């Protein structure tokens, strides 16, 4: 030792340096090694480098620069005078000095002090790393919590819960179960699984909630279960592990942690089950060596993080389930409302659903166009859902319209036509009775054959007149387009006199009946048409009374404007293009197209697709319908969606 040190150091520091080395050799718990012009002294993972003050910086600092800079090593300098080495040290290096080279007690204290300072530095680094990790995990938990509270779709929420649970714990795989049913009838429904290392097909299934399975036990016991090796579960454990999945897909389950998700109502509503915590989360487990090297038990920190996340996930899942339940109730109400409308007006059965499908299809198409006046228009999922509900309920105001008006298939109500039939037949019978009376009188006074023939001619003419009148009435009663000449015929027939049973002369038709038969197109007269149009006012009024909330606040306005026209000639408010919501303009096209092509209306034939599109084109030319929306409707062939098999 002495000869080696003397060969490496100046004569002035040899004796003190050797004394230092001898001190290191006699101290317990240290390992010393002469390395060039230095002595390395180790205790566990800490290193102190002892060097003479006049040693070269290249010999002392350069070999240990990184360790000194990171605080993994300290420097102990020997000698009275301030060494040149001090000017070459990196910032933050732990340094100690022993002026009296031969004073072993001072040296021992200095050496011990440096090791303590190194330990403090290492502890500080560990605390800093731990604090950084805590901050990172806390931030992750906050982000996860935010993501969980924003997701309402249950399938996406469960996928997110499992993904984040695996992320914060470093798990290779995992599954999620949802508790269904009540009491003894509870079951666990397997919803989904994730696995970084292998791909496999999975489908939903259910199993009873019992202590036989690990997931079931977690539900019954209401506590987490962490298992280091599922193939080494004690024989007296109440649960067991089914290894059939591993055999089927060639996987190797080892460590597992299963945590129940508990709702705000203190009910277990689901289970998170994670598999195979990895030392390096990015590493795939592709062979036996990888499983052996990478898989470890879930530690306490992982369990704490998962428990925290499961608590949030339980509340988020409960909220999503409640949201889904409320939405199901609401959609049930909407469907029941549509059914109520269609029961009052069976002739338009399916219309509301088809308008909804066409409207939503056109809105989704508009959302994706990259050119034209609507290239910047956007329809979010919420906007499309809002339009769907508005479309389904756009005719709900028909509840406020008299049923006989709603289902009026012809210009006259059945009872009115029956009354006219009765009058005509009564007039015919009265005419024949009068003819017989006159014939008897003629015969009694010995009338000539010419007089009798004239009477017979009058009777035949009267019969022909009444029968022709009835035929004209029946023809005019159909909801077809009435020609100009038919107006005069109806007016003339209406004025044909007959004697009623009270002996009073009356016209064959009332003024109301004449007015109805003179309807130019369709089956409704002006008053009835206004009553039908009032359904929009009833719709808007009814829908405005429902607390739709912020998400669907525009439903009353959208549904209430589907009969408005761009030029202001629509109803009920005569709005112009700028005042009509885009969603309403879309619904207008869907409503007109379906009304023209519907096959379930007894009072008119279904119009061919091309003819219906031509009529919509005329509506565009007349300034009633938005031309750009109509172009998109035609180019995208959105109208074909109405021809699909639609059902609730």
- CA 8 to centroid of chain Cα atoms: 77
Between the alpha carbon of residue 485 and those of residues 378, 420, 427, 476, the distances in Å are: 52, 22, 25, 11
User: Which fold does the domain 152-323 belong to in CATH?
Assistant: Beta-Lactamase (3.30.450)
Given this model, what pLDDT does residue 456 score? 83
Judge whether 5 and 17 are in contact, CB under 8 Å.
yes
pLDDT value, residue 95: 81
Model confidence, pTM: 0.62
Q: Give the whole-angstrom CA distance, residue 198 versus residue 208.
A: 28
State the helix-helix crossing angle for 381-392 and 351-368, rounded to 10 degrees: 160
Q: Do domains 2-124 and 345-404+528-643 have the same CATH topology?
A: no
How many helices (H) and strands (E) the chain has is answered by 22, 14
Residue 13 and residue 79 in contact, taking contact as beta carbons nearer than 8 Å:
yes
End-to-end Cα distance, the chain: 94
Distance (Å, rounded) from C-alpha 478 to C-alpha 473? 9
List the structure tokens of 561: 């404007």
Give the per-residue pLDDT at 255: 94
User: Distance (Å, rounded) from C-alpha 66 to C-alpha 43?
Assistant: 19
Question: Strand runs (DSSP E) across 455-527, as ranges?
Answer: 497-499, 505-507
- The domain locations on the chain are 2-124, 152-323, 345-404+528-643, 414-523
Residues 6+ apart with CB under 8 A from 479: 409, 410, 411, 519, 521, 522, 523, 603, 604
Range in 67-71, 181-185, 412-416, 560-564 with the lowest mean pLDDT: 67-71
Indicate the pLDDT class of residue 646, thresholds 50, 70 and 90. Answer: low
Q: Dump pLDDT digits (tens) for 510-537.
A: 998 988 888 888 888 888 889 888 999 9
* Residue 648 binned pLDDT confidence (cut-offs 50, 70, 90): very low
Is the per-residue pLDDT at 9 higher than 90? no
Assigned CATH for 2-124: 3.40.1350
Rg (C-alpha) for the chain, rounded Å, is 47
Q: How many CB atoms lie within 10 A of CB 293?
A: 14
Higher pLDDT, residue 555 or 523: 555
Longest dimension (CA), the chain: 179
CB 177 within 8 A of CB 270: yes
Say how far residue 2 (Cα) sits from the centre of its chain: 81
Q: How confident is the model at residue 59 (pLDDT cuts 50, 70, 90)?
A: confident
Lowest-pLDDT choice from 6-20, 31-45, 290-304, 390-404: 6-20
**Beta strand 268-278 pairing with 171-180:** antiparallel
CA angle 439, 441, 442 (to 5 degrees): 65
Q: pLDDT for 366-384, tens place per residue?
A: 998 988 899 999 999 999 9
614: phi then psi, degrees, rounded to nearest 5: -60, -45
- Which stretches of 295-350 are DSSP H helices? 300-344
Query: Tell me, what's the pLDDT at 10?
Result: 43
**Sheet of strand 38-43: strand arrangement:** 31-35, 38-43, 46-52, 73-78, 94-98
pLDDT over threshold 60, residue 22 = no
May I ask the CATH class of domain 345-404+528-643?
mainly alpha
pLDDT score, position 151: 66
């Amino acid at each position: 030792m002495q000869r080696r040190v003397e060969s490496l150091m100046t004569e002035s520091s040899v004796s003190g340096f050797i004394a230092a080395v001898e001190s290191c050799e006699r101290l317990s718990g240290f390992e010393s090694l002469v390395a060039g012009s230095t002595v390395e002294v180790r205790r566990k993972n800490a290193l102190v480098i002892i060097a003479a003050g006049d040693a070269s910086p290249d010999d002392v600092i350069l070999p240990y620069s990184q360790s000194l800079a990171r605080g993994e090593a300290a420097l102990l300098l020997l000698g009275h005078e301030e060494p040149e080495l001090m000017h070459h040290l990196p910032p933050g290096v732990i340094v100690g000095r022993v002026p009296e080279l031969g004073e072993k007690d001072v040296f021992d204290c200095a050496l011990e002090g440096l090791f303590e300072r190194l330990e403090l530095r290492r502890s500080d680094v560990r605390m800093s790393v731990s604090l950084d990790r805590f901050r990172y995990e806390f931030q992750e938990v906050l982000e996860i919590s935010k993501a969980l509270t924003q997701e309402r779709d249950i399938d996406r929420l469960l996928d997110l819960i499992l993904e984040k649970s695996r992320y914060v714990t470093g798990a290779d795989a995992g599954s999620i179960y949802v508790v269904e049913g009540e009491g003894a009838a509870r079951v666990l429904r397997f919803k989904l699984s994730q696995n970084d290392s292998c791909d496999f097909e999975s489908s939903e299934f259910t199993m009873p909630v019992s202590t036989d399975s690990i997931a079931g036990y977690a539900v019954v016991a209401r506590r987490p279960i962490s298992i280091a090796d599922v193939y080494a579960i004690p024989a007296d454990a109440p649960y067991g592990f089914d290894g059939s999945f591993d055999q089927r897909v060639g996987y190797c389950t080892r460590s597992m942690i299963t945590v129940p998700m508990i709702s705000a109502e203190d009910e277990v509503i689901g289970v998170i089950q994670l598999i195979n915590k990895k030392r390096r989360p990015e590493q795939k487990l592709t062979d036996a060596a990888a499983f052996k090297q990478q898989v470890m038990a879930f530690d306490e920190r992982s369990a704490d993080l998962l428990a925290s996340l499961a608590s949030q996930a339980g509340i988020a899942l409960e909220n999503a389930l409640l949201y889904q339940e409320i939405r199901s109730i609401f959609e049930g109400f909407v469907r029941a409302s549509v059914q109520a409308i269609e029961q009052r007006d069976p002739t338009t059965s399916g219309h509301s659903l088809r308008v909804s499908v066409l409207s939503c299809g056109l809105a989704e198409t508009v959302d994706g166009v990259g050119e034209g006046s609507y290239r910047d228009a956007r329809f979010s999922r919420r906007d499309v859902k809002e339009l769907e509900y508005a479309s389904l309920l756009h005719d709900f105001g028909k509840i406020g319209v008299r049923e006989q008006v709603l289902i009026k298939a012809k210009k006259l109500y059945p009872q009115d036509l029956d009354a006219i039939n009765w009058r005509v037949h009564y007039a015919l019978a009265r005419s024949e009775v009068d003819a017989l009376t006159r014939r008897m009188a003629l015969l009694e006074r010995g009338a000539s054959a010419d007089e009798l023939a004239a009477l017979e001619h009058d009777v035949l003419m009267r019969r022909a007149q009444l029968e022709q009148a009835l035929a004209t009435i029946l023809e005019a009663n159909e909801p077809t387009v009435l020609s100009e000449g038919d107006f005069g015929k109806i007016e003339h027939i209406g004025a044909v006199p007959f004697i009623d049973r009270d002996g009073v002369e009356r016209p064959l038709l009332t003024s109301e009946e004449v007015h109805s038969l003179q309807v130019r197109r369709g089956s409704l007269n002006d008053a009835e048409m206004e009553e039908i149009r009032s359904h929009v006012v009833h719709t808007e009024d009814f829908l405005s009374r429902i607390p739709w909330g912020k998400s669907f606040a525009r439903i009353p306005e959208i549904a209430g404007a589907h009969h408005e026209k761009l030029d202001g000639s629509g109803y009920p408010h005569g709005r112009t293009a700028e005042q009509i919501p885009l969603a309403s303009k879309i619904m207008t096209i869907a409503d007109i197209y379906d009304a023209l092509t519907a096959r379930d209306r007894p009072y008119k034939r279904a119009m061919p697709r091309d003819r219906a599109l031509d009529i919509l084109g005329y509506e565009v030319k007349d300034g009633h319908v938005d031309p750009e929306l109509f172009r998109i409707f035609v180019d995208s062939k959105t109208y074909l969606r109405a021809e699909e098999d639609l059902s609730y």
